Amino acid sequence: MCFQARQLNDSAPLITAPDGASCAANAPDVNQWLSAKLDHPVTLWPILPADNVEHYRRGAPDNEDVEQELRTIFGRLPGEPLPDLSGFAELLEFESPPGTYFDAFPLMLMSRQSLATLAAAAPNSAFDVRRFRPNLLLDFPQDAGAYPEQALLGKVLRLGDAVLEVVSTCPRCSMTTRAAAELPGDMAIMRHLVQQAEGNLGVYAKVIERGHAQAGQPLQIV
């Protein structure tokens, strides 16, 4: 299920559900409205200070079987390998890095070449960039390989005035298989990701130096 949020002047963001209904983020009944739309109890919160660790601490899993819980999150079938989460120790304790609502890291970088590789291997599935939500979509030379962004792991990059460090591959979860806009739900997306790319697509990065960057600027390895 895909929700949209847009800022209206200086007011709170307006959240629009797939059925077209909308609710302001600061509405008194926003939590009840979201819970009804999602058919699951949820609450909407502002970003709280990082030292409020109880707010960020991971809640009880939906399934007491940890392996099954992970298979549900990552959309993996019995017999398919679970992702390597050794680089995500903090997220085993917290829902997101304290002080943020990032899934894991501030930025996710992905390449056009990776999408093209998967689209060629699975022509009946829509490997549309909107499924994978990169912050930065990179374009590598034609001879850079099937998944060229993976070669950036451990590298420090400069994009415009900003400096980034690539810290981990991005293990994809079941969100990539959900319907969004005109894209249909497609569980085959995950099957192809596992078979073709070990379930990974894109790389995570953190910001070393803040700066401005624009579309079309060259990416440099520092």
Amino acid 9: pLDDT: 52
Q: Identify the DSSP state of 133.
A: -
Task: Please indicate, yes or no, if residue 96 is contained in any of the structural domains.
Answer: yes
- Phi and psi at residue 158, to the nearest 5°: -115, 130
Task: Please indicate, yes or no, if residue 13 is contained in any of the structural domains.
Answer: yes
Report d(CA 132, CA 61) in Å as an integer: 24
Task: Please indicate, yes or no, if residue 43 is contained in any of the structural domains.
Answer: no
pTM for this predicted structure: 0.86
CATH no. for residue 183? Answer: 2.40.33
91 in the same domain as 12: no
Report d(CA 202, CA 109) in Å as an integer: 5
* Chain segment 71-126, per-residue pLDDT in tens: 999 999 999 999 998 888 887 889 899 999 998 999 999 999 999 999 999 999 99
67 in the same domain as 92: yes
From the list 200, 150, 146, the residue with the least C-alpha distance to 171 is 200
- Is 78 in contact with 71 (CB distance < 8 Å)? yes
What is the span of the domain harbouring residue 21?
A: 4-38
**Domains held by the chain: number:** 2
14 in the same domain as 96: no
Beta carbons within 10 angstroms of residue 215's beta carbon: 6
Task: Please indicate, yes or no, if residue 48 is contained in any of the structural domains.
Answer: no
Tokens of 157: 């990059």
